[in-house]
Amino acid sequence: MKTALLFLSVALAASAADSGFRPLFNGKDTSGWKLRNAKGHNSWSVKDGVLINTVNKGEHGTDLVTEDKFWNFTVRYEYRVPAGANSGFYLRGRHEIQIMDDFARGKPSKNGNGSIYNFKAPDDFASKPVGEWNTVEATMIGNKITVVMNGKKIHVDVACDQATGSEIDNKVKEPGPFFLQGDHGSVEFRKIEVKELK
């Protein structure tokens, strides 16, 4: 098992380096990340190369935040949700790309999966069913956000000059961390990598 995990992390690093991306998640542990609230319940674990947030009924988890901060970048990640899931991936810790089980809805929503939460609905519905891996590539340059989800461009150069809720702070003109929303419900992530842009 240890050999397989070592091979996985080496392969991830090599493939990311080839394209200018570097891993933010090593597939083994949460190195490079910290709990948003150091005293909060740590609901995060790593198993078989997957970062898992497990929030049982009646519990609250804690957001997981990168130790590094970023300005212009492209970030790639994959996530999978159980039924009824609600989470988010935050760009610079302030702009949430919503993660939600809404496949049955069948249409985009301002607060649905792939939305810039409570700010703009996706241009196209791109959600996958519960249990399937979703792929996201999000680019942020200045105040402009472009997002490709599951091969569909769902946001193109969207100007977002405000934090969208549950943000780290409201300093939208400064670099910030990525953070994975952990307080609402269970979610799984893998292959999180970033390429910094000028």
Q: Phi then psi for 181, rounded to 5 degrees?
A: -70, 125
Superfamily in which the 2-196 domain is placed by CATH? Exo-inulinase; domain 1 (2.60.120.560)
Q: Which two tokens stand for residue 100?
A: 């939600």
Structure tokens at 101: 């089980």
Residue 39: which residues within 8 A CB-CB, separation 6 or more?
A: none
Predicted confidence (pLDDT) per residue in 103-143, tens digit: 999 999 999 999 999 999 999 999 999 999 999 999 999 99
- Whether 90 shows a pLDDT value over 80: the answer reads yes
> Quick one: which of 35, 42, 86, 39 has its CA closest to 64?
35
* pLDDT score of 60: 84
Arithmetic mean of pLDDT, 137-156: 98
Rounded distance, CA 89 to CA 99, Å? 7
The C-alpha atoms of residue 101 and residue 81 are separated, in whole angstroms, by 7
Element holding 13 (H helix, E strand): helix 2-18
Confidence bin at 42 (pLDDT 50/70/90): very high
How far apart, in whole angstroms, are the C-alpha atoms of residue 189 and residue 198? 27
* Per-residue confidence (pLDDT) for residue 59, from 0 to 100: 84
List the domain boundaries for the chain.
Answer: 2-196
pLDDT, tens only, 161-182: 999 999 999 999 999 999 999 9
Burial 78-112 (b: 16+ CB within 10 A, else e): ebbbeeebbbbbbbbbbbbbbbbbbbeeeebeeeb
Which residue matches tokens 């799984």?
188
Q: What is the mean pLDDT of the chain?
A: 92
Q: Are 12 and 23 in contact (CB under 8 A)?
A: yes
